[in-house]
Amino acid sequence: MPENSLAAATGAIAGGFGIECDIQRSLDNFPMVFHDWNTKRLLGVEGDTEEFTARDLKAMPYPGTEEHPATLSDLLELVAGQVPLLIEIKSKRGYDIGRTCSAVRDNLRTYSGRHAVMSFDPRVSRWFASHSPGTVRGLVVTEEGTHGPWGNLRRHIALWHGKPDFLAYDIRDLPSRFAASQRARGLPVTTWTVRSPELLDRARLHADAAIAEGEGIDP
């Protein structure tokens, strides 16, 4: 099934699995369940995701399927609290993250199912701490390209600024002294993306939950 599609969510619900999804913002400020900043890889159409309206995006099929990008509202209606939902909000340098956070918050106001938001950008966690303190929020972390004292300092600054309820850590970095120290002080650690039984074993040793796919899913 295409990633982030409603068909994939339906399959996860049928298997009793929680769902991790990604959020991009459309031109008309709808939170879209979509991973990439550009539509070429997933939809075969050249263009920046944020240059299309929600209606435009929903009219584009995933090649070879009857599926198409969905709004967060579509996904919430489908899941309806049946399984937990983990929502990753995408961000980049110079991006108006507040607009996306506000749109996601508005979609979640009346949603009673178990859910959390997370992002690599500590501004997301901090925004929800200030504007929606009841929302569980996480900081996504990778140590790729940021090893050594400077990288460790950056992670501590992101943690201080974001004030997250949990970490979502790159499985390639585990075991990690930083992750272990935060876990020891009571901050839960999830890990991504677990794609093999070997990585699942590593996740069991060094994290509290695995974000997994394919052969990394616990049978």
Encode pLDDT of 163-212 as tens digits. 999 999 999 999 999 999 999 999 999 999 999 999 999 999 999 999 99
The three-class DSSP label of residue 25 is strand
The pLDDT tens digits of the residues spanning 94-145 come to 999 999 999 999 999 999 999 999 999 999 999 999 999 999 999 999 998 7
**Separation of alpha carbons 98 and 104, rounded Å:** 10
Q: What percent of the chain has pLDDT over 90?
A: 95
Contact (Cβ atoms closer than 8 angstroms) between residue 32 and residue 39: no
Q: How many CB atoms lie within 10 A of CB 195?
A: 15
**Separation of alpha carbons 202 and 215, rounded Å:** 14
What is the structure's pLDDT at 34? Answer: 98
* 104 to 29, 137, 199: CA distances (angstroms): 10, 12, 31
Domains of the chain listed by start with CATH number: 1-119 (3.20.20.190), 121-219 (3.20.20.190)
The three-class DSSP label of residue 18 is coil
**Separation of alpha carbons 112 and 215, rounded Å:** 31
pTM listed for this prediction: 0.94
Q: Give pairs for 43-52: CB < 8 Å, separation 24+.
A: 43/69, 49/24, 49/25, 50/24, 50/25, 50/26, 51/27, 52/26, 52/27
Contact (Cβ atoms closer than 8 angstroms) between residue 105 and residue 143: no
pLDDT confidence bin for 151, thresholds 50/70/90: confident
What is the structure's pLDDT at 148? Answer: 78
The three-class DSSP label of residue 23 is strand
What is the structure's pLDDT at 219? Answer: 77
- Strand partners for 192: 170
103-119 exposure pattern, b = at least 16 Cβ within 10 A, e = fewer: bbbebbeebeeebbbbb
Residue 146 has pLDDT above 90, yes or no: no
For 99, phi and psi rounded to 5 degrees? -65, -40
What is the structure's pLDDT at 149? Answer: 84
Contact (Cβ atoms closer than 8 angstroms) between residue 79 and residue 24: no
Contact (Cβ atoms closer than 8 angstroms) between residue 147 and residue 108: no
Q: How high is the mean pLDDT of the chain?
A: 96
pLDDT confidence bin for 218, thresholds 50/70/90: confident
**Separation of alpha carbons 80 and 209, rounded Å:** 22
The three-class DSSP label of residue 60 is coil
